[in-house]
Amino acid sequence: MRVSTGRANQSDSRMFHVVVEGFGIGQQRQAERVFTVPFSQLQSTIQTIARQGGVITGVFAIDGSSGNGADPTPAPAAETAAAGEAPTPATAPAVTKAPAHATPHAAVPVNTYKPKTPFLGTVTENYSLVGEGAIGRVNHITFDLAGGEPQLEYVEGQSIGIIPEGTDANGKPHKLRLYSIASTRHGDNMAAHTVSLCVRQLEYEQDGETIKGVCSSYLCDIEPGAKVKITGPVGKEMLLPEDEEANVIMLATGTGIAPMRAYLRRMFEPAERDKNGWQFRGKAWLFMGVPKTPNLLYDADFEHYLKEYPDHFRYTKAISREQQNAKGGRMYIQDRVLEHADEIFTLIEDPKTHAYMCGLKGMEPGIDEAMTAAAAAKGLDWSELRPALKKAGRWHVETY
Ligand SMILES: Cc1cc2nc3c(=O)[nH]c(=O)nc-3n(C[C@H](O)[C@H](O)[C@H](O)COP(=O)(O)OP(=O)(O)OC[C@H]3O[C@@H](n4cnc5c(N)ncnc54)[C@H](O)[C@@H]3O)c2cc1C
């Protein structure tokens, strides 16, 4: 975690951003939140957050007294510091105790473009990622970000917001939807000014009617040349470790593959490796869950990486409607986790290992159940291990 180190004394009038994960109730706990507080309340705010189970991933001094608009949520009612307690400098122990893993990530760009002043990106390509006979539509869509002032930059594992054209049922402009970035920071063309997404068109039946999602339909149908309102980037939950020898376990279902595609390109795509100078030497293991073979996303690329880097990449597929688990039921990603429980936990015991889960929220209970059983087989308690891994910055979850 980056912590302001400049001037800090009792009359310090600066304002600070405190970036927090796992704080609040319900959906709020999933999101990263930013609180803006004066220096005089920094210590007590940090204590309040810590008491309520939040993990502080960054504390930044800002100039002036306005917030950065990253999250309109007001600061929590900061508890008053004990009577007579002097304000601690900005490098307070409570801050420095936050997980060390956050340190290299503090500089990642966040909220360069906000909903009121989005960047207007131009669609350069939009093609289907699924094959004949697939269930549903999933597209790969790329936007040109050139000419932005400031330039919209991002790193692997972040998301961007898209504001669809048009208005909602109340005549108000549509709100933004978040999408995980599927490209590396250099973009698919290595020119460092494009961003790509992997979008599934939401479609469901209600009262005999087929309903299609607003933003996902807008994106899946969009033509090259169209201008699109883009916000962000946001998110620090899914960032890759900087260690070239890290091990990376990836659990993805459907479009949850988006950040994993960015990681795998960073690790194994030749042009990307030349550009990023990051010579991954650890083990990357992708578990991918889809309903049918034609629903596998970026499969040819991953098969190619497997051929080129057999000592560094493993690719395990769970194709629910075509494969059977040990009990004769449908093969889901959690069944694959169970099959490889021993190897997974041997890897997890290595402090260089990070695990990433991304996809629909519904995948979480199954994975949790599988990890519980897998941990038990090694004499470990997943309900204790998971928060410990999370705290150590090695268990990364982004589900939606
Ligand atoms: C961090 C993050 C990353 C994401 N990354 C991706 C990504 O990479 N790719 C991707 O495709 N999506 C991603 N999403 C999801 C995305 O943000 C949108 O939620 C999704 O595209 C649907 O938006 P929409 O405008 O098409 O649907 P909307 O028009 O907003 O409709 C969604 C609403 O429809 C209702 N609904 C949905 N399903 C049903 C159902 N079965 N029955 C009844 N009602 C239902 C719910 O009320 C739901 O809120 C991500 C979300 C988050 C939070």
**pLDDT score of 233:** 98
Mean pLDDT (whole number) for 118-129: 98
Considering the chain, tell me which residue range(s) the CATH 3.40.50.80 domain(s) occupy.
247-399
Q: How far apart are CA 56 and CA 22, in angstroms?
A: 9
For ligand 1, atom 26, which residue shows the shortest CA distance?
213
Kindly report the average pLDDT of the chain as a whole number: 84
Q: How far apart are CA 261 and CA 265, in angstroms?
A: 6
Q: For residue 202, which atom of ligand 1 is closest to its CA?
A: 26
pTM score = 0.78
256-to-133, 332, 334, 337, 358 alpha-carbon distances in Å: 20, 14, 15, 16, 4
**pLDDT score of 78:** 29
Q: How far apart are CA 288 and CA 313, in angstroms?
A: 13
Question: Could you tell me what percentage of the chain is helix, strand and coil, using 3-state DSSP and rounding each to the nearest 5?
Answer: 30, 30, 45
Higher pLDDT, 378 or 142: 142
Closest by Cα among 310, 292, 297, 287 to 357 = 287
Considering the chain, tell me which residue range(s) the CATH 2.40.30.10 domain(s) occupy.
119-234
**pLDDT score of 6:** 33
CATH assignment, 247-399:
3.40.50.80
Q: How far apart are CA 363 and CA 46, in angstroms?
A: 32
**pLDDT score of 86:** 31
CATH class of the domain whose range is 119-234? mainly beta
Q: How far apart are CA 243 and CA 104, in angstroms?
A: 10
Q: In angstroms, what is the span from residue 177 Cα to ligand 1's centroid?
A: 8
Residue 107 pLDDT class (50, 70, 90 cuts)? confident
Mean pLDDT (whole number) for 86-98: 27
Inter-residue contact 256 to 290 (CB < 8 Å):
no
Which single residue is written with the structure tokens 């149908």?
221
Out of 74-88, 126-140, 193-207, pick the least confident: 74-88
Q: How far apart are CA 297 and CA 291, in angstroms?
A: 11
Closest by Cα among 253, 261, 179 to 213 = 179
**pLDDT score of 374:** 87
Q: What are phi and psi of 55, to 5 degrees?
A: -110, 120
**pLDDT score of 104:** 56
Active site annotation includes 358: yes
Active site annotation includes 398: yes
Mean pLDDT (whole number) for 308-314: 98
Residue 47 pLDDT class (50, 70, 90 cuts)? low
Active site annotation includes 400: yes
pLDDT digit string, tens, across residues 313-356: 999 999 999 999 999 999 999 999 999 999 999 999 999 999 99
**pLDDT score of 102:** 38
Mean pLDDT (whole number) for 158-176: 97
Select from 175, 177, 364 the residue to mutate for testing ligand 1; criterion: most ligand atoms less than 8 Å from CB: 177
For ligand 1, atom 44, which residue shows the shortest CA distance?
204
Q: In angstroms, what is the span from residue 202 Cα to ligand 1's centroid?
A: 6
